[in-house]
């Protein structure tokens, strides 16, 4: 069962169907801000004119309804947004403004907290650590995961695919004690190797899992014809097959990057002075001086910025990547 | 042109790495759980059979952590599934700005849990937190929240609901957007009410997706670490110490590796059994619909 969870333009959704017949009459002159009016095109001019006369009052009622709907949409969106607003604004407030009662919505912004976090706390050094670990984990995951996912998809090795999910079920704490002892014995605690290895636990199965679905949509004839033309398998894979799934590979990489960037537990134990990642650094800095809310807000804003920016740019793909396993049977 | 060498050769490197990074810790935990292995003391590693398991079963702190895990997971799961499904139904129609709404609801999922937890800890603060301010402004009494043994779990559940309801919403929404059109059209022709369509057609059709979404969330809720560790570190006392935090504390605050590994085995077993039960429930639901 294949399906495309991309945005639809034909209004095929479950919940609005009861009012579809009503909509056909009501929107003969679609007011600005109405949804896609794809299904009115089939209407004849005659019925439109009739509808315009008799349902004029209905239309204003519908406008009210639509207005209420949008008000509700905005209010609901404020729930996730408020926390981020609060995060950024705390970072821009002085300590006095941060603990003011009543809390200040309007205030004179200061960049002192951001300066303190970036210059005084050496934030970028931790950012570089986080980046190296995430980049390493994603690169290795792609290198190992792409051929694996291709083979699993092509030869329908579904069982192998499913065993990957076990890695997802194991609590991270369960990995931590054995790996800590192993890395301690090998004197690898506080190295990138230790961090990248443990982050692979998250990124590798995820990349394979996402890519299986993308490779399943690649026709086998693609590889066959390339092989008949004399290409070796690696050539066919790199030059013919991979370009077809580049969107999928990009989605998988971005999601894996975000997961690694956000990872806290492994880094908390396995990183040290030389390799400390951003979430751990911020956590340490917060526990040392509890009430510095401005610094807290600034630091929180800086860690969250990369994942949020990535999300904003490719949200459609990310939603697809996050939801595909569950929606597909 | 099935090339068996290629068939198994291609996934092999990935599978070997997966085996090393996943199976090794699971196996090593089982071995470690039979030993006394304290990094803090001077005592050598010592085989003690099932003593660690016996000790855990007699520790009130273990049973407390189990209860905390169950209450937190249950609360978060019910809240997220109900609110997430309701939001998905609400947003399922086509409207201008829908993709922006989706992006906004993606933010809590993508945001770094440590950052989100820190901001929420600030918001739950007794003296200066905005939540108590709103309560005071509405004429209520400010609450202790994270500092109160009885309110800490509700506060953590609400925070978790804030962060993860969007995942359920987006999964259910994707499912709603892929539903076939015909049942709705014929129901409308037959004069079914909106409520009838919702309960008789929409919900049964998306039920398998809701269950899978709830499964995914429940696994992650049992595994919750960042949120609780950053906001309360299991406190006050042990009031919010779930099995995950307890395992972490035994391993990395007391450096009892053997006992920590024992807890890790127990935790892993719980997640595994829980998944099996959920899979059975899901399959039962499936035959229900078909029959």
A181 to B226: CB separation less than 8 angstroms, yes or no? no
Task: Report whether B110 contacts A310 (CB < 8 A).
Answer: yes
Which residue, chain included where needed, has tokens 């008949």?
A228
Residue A30 confidence (pLDDT) above 50: no
- Is A323–B174 a contact, with Cβ atoms under 8 angstroms apart? yes
Q: Which residues in chain A have Cβ-Cβ distances shorter than 8 Å to B159?
A: none
The shortest C-alpha distance from B150 to chain A (Å) reads 23
Query: Contact at 8 Å (CB) between B6 and A241?
Result: no
Residue A80 lies in a domain: no
What span, in angstroms and rounded, lies between the C-alpha atoms of A84 and A301?
8
Could you tell me if residue A26 is inside a domain? yes
Tell me, yes or no, whether A293 and A214 share the same domain: yes
pLDDT in tens, B178-191: 888 888 888 888 88
Asked if B84 and B169 count as a contact pair (C-beta separation under 8 A), the reply is: yes
Q: Which ipTM did the prediction report?
A: 0.89
- Higher local confidence (pLDDT), A55 or B264: B264
Same-domain check for residues A142 and A245 = yes
Q: Domain count of chain A?
A: 2
pLDDT tens for each residue of B208-258: 888 888 888 888 899 899 999 999 988 898 999 999 999 999 999 888 889
Cross-chain residue pair B7–A98, CB shorter than 8 Å: no
pLDDT digits (tens, 9 = 90+) for B36-85: 888 876 667 888 888 889 888 898 999 999 999 999 999 999 999 999 99
pLDDT at A314: 79
Taking the Cβ of residue A36 and every Cβ of chain B, the question of whether any pair is shorter than 8 Å is answered with yes
Is pLDDT of A35 > 60?
A: no
pLDDT digits (tens, 9 = 90+) for A227-236: 888 888 888 8
Selected residues 238-257 of chain A with any CB under 8 Å from a CB in chain B: none
pLDDT at B181 (0 to 100): 82
Element (H, E) at B46: strand B46-47
Segments making up each domain of chain B, as ranges = 59-240
For residues A159 and A287, membership in a common domain is answered with yes
Q: Which domain CATH number covers A246? A: 1.10.3720.10
Reported as a single tens digit per residue, the pLDDT across A238-261 is 888 888 888 889 989 998 999 999
Q: How many CB atoms lie within 10 A of CB A72?
A: 11
- What digits encode the pLDDT tens for the residues B212-221? 888 888 888 9
Residue B236 Ramachandran class (φ > 0 left, ψ -120 to 50 alpha, else beta): beta
Burial zone of B273 (CB within 10 Å; 0-12 exposed, 13-18 middle, 19+ buried): exposed
Quick one: which of B160, B142, B127, B288 has its CA closest to B231?
B160
A236 and chain B: CB distance < 8 Å anywhere?
Answer: no
Contact B229, A173 (CB under 8 A): no
Q: What is the pLDDT of residues A257-296, one digit of tens each?
A: 999 999 999 999 998 888 999 999 988 877 665 678 888 8
Average pLDDT over residues B134-138: 90
Q: According to CATH, what is the number of the domain B59-240?
A: 1.10.3720.10
Segment A195-210 shows an average pLDDT of 91
Phi-psi region of B95 (alpha: psi -120 to 50; beta: other; left: phi over 0): beta
Does residue A180 sit in the same domain as residue A262? yes
Q: Whole-number mean pLDDT of chain B? A: 87
Q: What is the domain extent for residue A29?
A: 1-54
């Amino acid at each position: 069962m294949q399906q495309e969870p991309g945005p639809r333009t034909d209004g095929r959704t479950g919940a609005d169907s009861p009012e579809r017949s009503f909509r056909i009459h009501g929107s003969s002159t679609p007011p600005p801000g109405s949804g896609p009016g794809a299904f009115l095109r089939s209407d004849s001019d005659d019925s439109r004119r009739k509808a315009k006369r008799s349902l004029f009052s209905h239309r204003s009622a519908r406008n009210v309804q639509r207005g209420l709907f949008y008000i509700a949409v905005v209010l609901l969106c404020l729930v996730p947004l408020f926390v981020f607003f609060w995060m950024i604004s705390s970072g821009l407030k002085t300590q006095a403004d941060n603990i003011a009662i009543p809390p200040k919505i309007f205030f004179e912004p200061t960049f002192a907290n951001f300066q303190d976090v970036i210059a005084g706390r050496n934030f970028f050094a931790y950012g570089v650590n986080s980046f190296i670990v995430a980049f390493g984990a994603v690169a290795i995951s792609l290198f190992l995961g792409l051929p694996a996912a291709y083979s699993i998809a092509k030869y329908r090795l579904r069982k192998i695919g499913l065993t990957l999910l076990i890695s997802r079920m194991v609590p991270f704490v369960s990995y931590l004690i054995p790996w800590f002892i192993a890395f301690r014995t090998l004197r690898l605690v506080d190295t990138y190797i230790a961090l990248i290895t443990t982050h692979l636990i998250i990124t590798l199965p995820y990349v394979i899992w996402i890519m299986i679905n993308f490779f399943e949509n690649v026709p086998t004839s693609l590889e066959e014809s390339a092989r008949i033309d004399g290409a070796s398998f690696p050539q066919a894979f790199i030059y013919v097959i991979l370009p077809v799934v580049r969107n999928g590979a990009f989605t998988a990489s971005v999601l894996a990057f975000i997961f690694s960037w956000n990872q806290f537990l492994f880094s908390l134990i396995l990183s040290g002075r030389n390799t400390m990642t951003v979430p751990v650094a911020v956590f340490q800095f917060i526990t040392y001086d509890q009430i510095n809310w401005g610094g807290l807000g600034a630091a929180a804003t800086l860690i969250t910025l990369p994942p949020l920016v990535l999300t904003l740019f490719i949200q459609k793909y990310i939603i697809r990547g996050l939801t595909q396993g569950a929606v597909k049977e | 042109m099935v090339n068996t060498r290629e068939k198994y050769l291609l996934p092999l490197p990935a599978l070997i790495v997966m085996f090393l990074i996943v199976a090794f810790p699971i196996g090593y935990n089982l071995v470690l759980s039979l030993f006394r292995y304290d990094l803090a003391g001077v005592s050598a590693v010592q085989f003690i059979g099932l003593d660690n398991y016996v000790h855990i079963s007699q520790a009130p702190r273990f049973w407390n952590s189990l209860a905390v895990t169950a209450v937190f997971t249950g609360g978060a799961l019910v809240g997220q599934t109900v609110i997430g499904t309701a939001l998905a139904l609400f947003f399922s129609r086509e409207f201008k700005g829908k993709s922006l709404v989706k992006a906004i609801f993606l933010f809590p999922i993508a945001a770094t849990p440590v950052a989100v937890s820190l901001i929420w800890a600030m918001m739950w603060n007794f003296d200066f937190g905005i939540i108590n301010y709103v309560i005071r402004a509405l004429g209520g009494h400010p609450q202790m929240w994270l500092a109160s043994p009885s309110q800490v779990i509700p506060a953590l559940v609400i925070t978790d609901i804030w962060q993860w309801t969007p995942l359920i919403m987006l999964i259910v929404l994707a499912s709603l957007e892929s539903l076939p059109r015909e049942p709705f059209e014929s129901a409308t022709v037959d004069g079914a009410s909106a409520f009838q369509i919702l309960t008789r057609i929409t919900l049964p059709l998306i039920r398998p997706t809701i269950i899978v979404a709830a499964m995914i969330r429940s696994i992650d809720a049992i595994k919750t670490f960042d949120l609780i560790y950053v906001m309360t570190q299991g406190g006050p006392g042990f009031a919010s110490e779930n099995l995950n935090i307890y395992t972490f504390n035994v391993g990395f605050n007391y450096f009892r590796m053997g006992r920590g590994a024992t807890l890790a085995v127990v935790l892993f077993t719980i997640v595994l059994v829980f998944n099996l039960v959920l899979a059975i429930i899901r399959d039962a639901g499936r035959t229900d619909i078909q029959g």
